[in-house]
Chain A
Amino acid sequence: MQRHLTSAADLTRDDAVLILDTAEEMARVADRPIKKLPTLRGRTVVNLFFEDSTRTRISFEAAAKRLSADVINFSAKGSSVSKGESLKDTALTLEAMGADAVVIRHHDSGAPHRLATSGWIGGSVVNAGDGTHEHPTQALLDAFTMRRHLAGAPDGGPVPHGAPGDGTGRDLAGRRITIVGDVLHSRVARSNVHLLTTLGAEVTLVAPPTLVPIGAGNWPCEVSYDLDAVLAKSDAVMMLRVQRERMNAAFFPTEREYARRYGLNSDRMARMPGHAIVMHPGPMNRGMEITAEVADSERCTAVEQVANGVSIRMAVLYLLLGGAGPAVTGTPDTTTRTEENA
């Protein structure tokens, strides 16, 4: 693994599987009476949030705290940042405070990459969502959820709804994932396209043409404008949040028309294969991209995704900070432990 996680494209298949496997172990910690590990004692993790995102911030905060790291929350609102302090000066401040990792959410695409490559800080940078670029830990938790459901049975196949399994060691080879909605503005979609294809899945993006980026034709996935045409061959259908305000910029005529053409309702869900799951990164616009009936069905993993987010973020923080450097994958581990070596 690289020292930073700014893009899902930076992860190899082995990196990604290692993160998912590690998250599987982290998830088991949540079932214990003491949900805390001493592993990152003495490490400092800064949550640097230039955008409000309580969900993502508390997920990272819980993850870091369960690993015993010290957590500093730095929100741009009401801070020196709102007084015009630059990202650089903020970064230098965090560096002076001894941040081992900076978890950054920023409204500008590329800000985490800039932070990681500018030389302003020495610690690891974890992208918690940048502009309309990427959100790699969201893609990882999505892949984790998919693996538990679609490759969680002992034979590597799908599990019954509501009973996620354990796909440790597996990838998503051959699984067909459909991502529906505002791809143009979605960092979740970009990260998922990278990660899911790295894990061997076949991704189809579905959106009105106005919400597909010019240039997406070069992505390693299919693009369709017709949701009904792809439902029957989808192992998972991920509904993206569509902001109602997009209507005002003429991306689609009305909410009603959007919901009719691209929303997931019970009729459409019934046309999905029996084992297929419905995913949503949240927060959901019920009645817009997803009906309440679908959102509350046992096939919808939205709540589970939130829980899995903590495990994934624990795994990422552990693999970046839990040693002298990031975990190494791709080369055979030459260390032996025939002797007691702890």
Chain B
Amino acid sequence: MSATSEPKKTLIRGARLLGGEPLDVLIDGGTVAETGTGLEAPGAAVVEAAGQILLPGLVDLHTHLREPGREDSETVLTGTRAAAAGGYTAVHAMANTFPVADTAGVVEQVWRLGKESGYCDVQPVGAVTVGLEGKQLAELGAMHDSAAGVRIFSDDGKCVDDAVIMRRALEYVKAFDGVIAQHAQEPRLTEGAQMNEGVVSAELGLGGWPAVAEESVIARDVLLAAHVGSRLHVCHVSTAGSVEIIRWAKSKGWNVTAEVTPHHLLLTDELVRSYDPVYKVNPPLRTEADVMALRAALADGTIDCVATDHAPHPHEDKDCEWGAAAMGMVGLETALSVVQHTMVDTGLLDWAGVADRMSFRPAAIGRLRGHGRPVAPGEPANLTLLDPAYRGVVDPAGFASRSRNTPYQGRELPGRVTHTFLRGRATVVDGKLA
């Protein structure tokens, strides 16, 4: 698609930048040339965007693109198409591929596939330990020094549970301003765990996944990060208790950041009563009280950003009994709608806040250059246009992702991405992939 000739200039007319007053934005080449009202640009492609919200291109810190190894569920190409459709201009590709992205070679392969896709920038995440085994540090420095320039390291899917390994990893990445993104899950406390441990798990007879299994690891890690003076990022925070620990760590001035997934902002473990594995996810869906605490924490900045944890799985891995099913949900194409529904339409966050939590802050945490920038002359033209008045029922048949494991099928959600621009080039036009 990158071969198609695009107009050199695009004029976006009347969009509400970060939800503000109507504004025109002129894109010239890969950058924003001019902003203002009543702009004219003869020969430019014109996007009439009255009533639409203009945001900086979204940045996802947590995406499973599955390539290499599980191309039956997603590839870098299909995953980045899904990302563009969801308004993203950059995604961080998690390391739990086959082979694991624990060497410079693998991260460079993923990085190169992203470049070739042309839909969205792909920033590989490197594994913390060899093979995600938690035993021996992977070559973090080599991955950082590679063409992929890795700055976020994570064993996501598995917890770096050994305290010494975690300490060393946190210390080691200080040399190149890296960050360890921890999947907080105490393994012994979650053996055989199938869902949140509580009233519903007791009734359903599914192995309980206690909140403390997440919270105890986060508590340890913030103390370790403080002790060694390094940066910790907490993946997919899911409990009210985790929020309290992160709030406390931040109050101490420690360098701790955190993300929450869209599904943890909306869904609860009551849905598991259906035994439909589409609701099986790691960390598990929690209670209403947790959902409310997560929304409040995202609103007040305790949780820095929304990350999708987009986890595609082939149909057969979900079309089965609960115990045999894979954990995870796709999320790239519904994230912005869920955030509008849970945060904006509830009055917890304005659109400037959405830009902050879904673009500025994740880009800053990942030290990602060229993304999460203000929409201003001279800045890269990575932009997302959203029609907030749209109401539609989620139909996975229309997904760009190769997988369909969405928990929102049949649910009405607000908002629709109409245009996405990656460095001035439209990847989505009128709601369709370019």
Contacts and interface: CB of A to CB of B under 8 A. Distances in A.
Nearest to A110: B275
Contact of B205 (A109, A114, A219): A109
B360 to A, nearest CB: 39
Given A215-B198, A215-B199, 11 more contacts: A87-B324, A88-B319, A107-B323, A109-B322, A109-B323, A110-B321, A114-B322, A214-B201, A214-B210, A216-B202, A218-B203
B194 to A, nearest CB: 8
A108 B208 contact: no
A190 interface: yes
Contacts of B5: none
A108 B316 CA distance: 17
A131 B205 contact: yes
A80 to B, nearest CB: 15
Interface in A114-161: 114-115, 117-118, 130-134
Contacts of B198: 214-215
A213 interface: yes
A190 B203 contact: yes
Contacts of B205: 109-110, 130-134, 187, 190
A315 B407 CA distance: 39
A289 to B, nearest CB: 20
A113 interface: yes
Contacts of A108: 321-324
A133 B201 CA distance: 9
A179 interface: no
B330 to A, nearest CB: 20
Nearest to A107: B323
Interface string B198-233: 111111111110100000000000000000000000
Interface residues of B, number: 24
B275 A114 contact: yes
Given A86-B316, A117-B274, A214-B197, A110 B203 contact: no
Contacts of B276: 114
A13 B185 CA distance: 43
A51 B186 CA distance: 30
Contact of A111 (B197, B210, B322): B322
Nearest to B274: A117
A32 B274 CA distance: 44
B326 to A, nearest CB: 13
Nearest to B317: A86
Contact of B208 (A107, A113, A114, A214): A214
A133 B206 CA distance: 7
27 contacts: A86-B319, A86-B320, A87-B321, A88-B320, A109-B323, A110-B205, A110-B275, A110-B321, A111-B321, A114-B320, A114-B321, A114-B322, A117-B274, A132-B206, A133-B204, A133-B206, A190-B205, A213-B201, A213-B202, A213-B208, A214-B197, A214-B202, A215-B197, A215-B200, A215-B203, A218-B199, A219-B202
A86 B324 contact: yes
A106 interface: yes
B361 to A, nearest CB: 35
A117 B321 CA distance: 11
Nearest to A187: B205
B178 to A, nearest CB: 38
Interface string B313-335: 00010011111100000000000
